[in-house]
Structure 1
């Protein structure tokens, strides 16, 4: 790969993980163009021509310009949304749509580009029912799971598979008093189910009698498995209680990880497992845009370097 081919990093301004990866690429002499969809059109512009050879043209920020036909790889993290606050509601809605399908369509169609991950494939993989169905097909063990809007069905499931947890199917921005909050995973009983369940879709899942959790981060062909001991149902609620241990996956898990990623067309995934008393691993979910860099200083695993290798395409 020619050193002049840049890596595009698409993310919001406040992204410490992206900062680490960009620093790694900078140290390797790999050019990087960082952008956020929220910067368009104020400080981000593009001009793309469709040719028989694919998209050609340029994308420009305040400090960088990328040749769209020579992008080495695109690291799609967590960009903010398009905003057109200076327009009235109807015009802003129109402008957002044009930006999404215009700039978004160009970024999703770069010739010869490695996507980590492709934004369309991320969208596919973010549907939890699809992910659980694929996990079962790929050979993972999954807990009994129900997705429903029917209160009676939820009660019957809890009676049959209790203890049961409720999990959000997605995690949009949720604020209480102006503070961003995480919708926690929580145990639910039959008595807590009422007609409000009929108001939208809900995911209920048998609670694994777990002794620990495992986060497995797959970066290209490299697999990093970290056991998380916290004593919590949802370890994300208190990071100060966590201890980390590097572990080897049980037989068959690594092959299943790659089958899962291949199913969705991904090259990166952050997998969560619950570990039961027999050391059996139960698949919970895979986040195609999950966080991972905070585990490197806790474990010494060379994860930032692995992401640098993937984006530099050292093995391509």
Structure 2
């Protein structure tokens, strides 16, 4: 692997991750294609791969495990827990209990063909959860060596604050983009102060910042979305396209350790690698982009 010098530590841990990580959720059913993309990403500097037991009912973990088995010690694998499939497969229910987490991790390890996870994330979370019990489960798994670090995937400031207060989370995965700047209000500063890594997802806002037809997004009208997409397009140059500009904006926030990009095609991998191998956005460009629209804020779960 072409290891770059801009890898960052995950929280206070010794784990180092690439500034762009491979979101495996988008992978299809073609194992040969999946292996090609995952190995190409690894060869060119991406060392962090994110999956979940929920994706394709566990088939995603199986595909990733098979592809990365021979280089397991050289990669960082994250998976997620908390969504329990119903026996009839009709959907899933939220289950953040200790008993379920301890049972689910065994199945994830089996599917990923590994005896440990580098990072295990709670795949959601509410204030009604048995939070202390959930934390106990993750701490026990750390003691047992089944996981190296744990965190949560959440966009809820009130839930994030509880985990910051009560646990030793290494990271929080959250949606963050030029069209979703809600984390800038309080979450990013709080996490940075506590040396907890932000794993940013949704940096392209469903592709709206990378050329998709404008439509309403969160509190923004389609006209506002179009205005932001144009500003992003105008910030490109011969080295960096619109997708890379949008992701670079997110990575320009000091709280963000890595941008998790969903990859299922060679074109998407190429975009991800462009982000990885080009310079940060100039501060002035970031400031200009931030001024295009008034930032949105959380109206729930504050």
Pair in the same fold by TM > 0.5: no
TM-score (structure 2 length as normaliser): 0.32
Greater fraction helix: 2
Q: Which has the higher strand share?
A: 1
Larger-gyration structure (1/2) = 1
